[in-house]
A and B are shown apart, each in its own frame.
Chain A
Amino acid sequence: GAVVSQHPSWVICKSGTSVKIECRSLDFQATTMFWYRQFPKQSLMLMATSNEGSKATYEQGVEKDKFLINHASLTLSTLTVTSAHPEDSSFYICSARDLDRSSYEQYFGPGTRLTVT
């Protein structure tokens, strides 16, 4: 089946530092990946749509200079949280759509828990 991995699964960083989160499609190619953010007891909120070889599309209210997205290949997208602050602490989840499937099903990674101290 289609598998999406995320690395790291959890990270603790100090305020002001940057953190990179990787999202990989392990056994399929994905031209489009989505980045979501999940707060405790709340829904997943879409942050941005990552397209291979082009700039990401950010949702309203998401700072593109703070949350840098790079989709450098058909199997890898990265989210970098720059100058992290405690309010950036959250659970970040990516999903990828299989290029070769017509069903448009999205496959989700296990998520990355970021804690900024």
Chain B
Amino acid sequence: GDSVTQMEGPVTLSEEAFLTINCTYTATGYPSLFWYVQYPGEGLQLLLKATKADDKGSNKGFEATYRKETTSFHLEKGSVQVSDSAVYFCALSEDGGNTPLVFGKGTRLSVIA
């Protein structure tokens, strides 16, 4: 079955540091890929998505590129802020989100001033 593997956390960074959270996937079809973020006490929010190879999703300074050849969708941000502290989930869906999402385990990010 489909699966998502993302780097274990927690990740602790200083403000303005560069962030990379690795995510790789296995899928039987041609999935859409997502990054969700969960701030403390809140529900998951869609951060960005990509639906086909070489697409780059971006939002709030975060970026991720759909790499079909390496089955990866790594999340990056050039300069993190304290407000970026949250849990980040990589996910896929075989049908653009119409079908249930398959999630990675989540990576907790803590940014310190």
Contacts and interface: CB of A to CB of B under 8 A. Distances in A.
Contact of A105 (B42, B46, B89, B105): B46
Interface stretch (A13-21, A42-50, A67-75, A82-90): A42-50
B43 interface: yes
B104 A43 contact: yes
B100 interface: yes
Contact of B97 (A4, A93, A106, A111): A106
A105 B41 CA distance: 21
Contacts of B104: 43
B104 to A, nearest CB: 6
The dominant DSSP class at the A interface is strand
Interface residues of A, number: 21
Contact of A44 (B89, B93, B97): B89
27 contacts: A4-B43, A6-B43, A34-B100, A41-B105, A41-B106, A43-B89, A43-B106, A44-B89, A44-B101, A46-B100, A46-B102, A49-B100, A93-B44, A95-B44, A95-B101, A97-B97, A97-B98, A103-B97, A104-B97, A105-B46, A106-B46, A106-B97, A108-B36, A108-B45, A109-B43, A110-B41, A111-B43
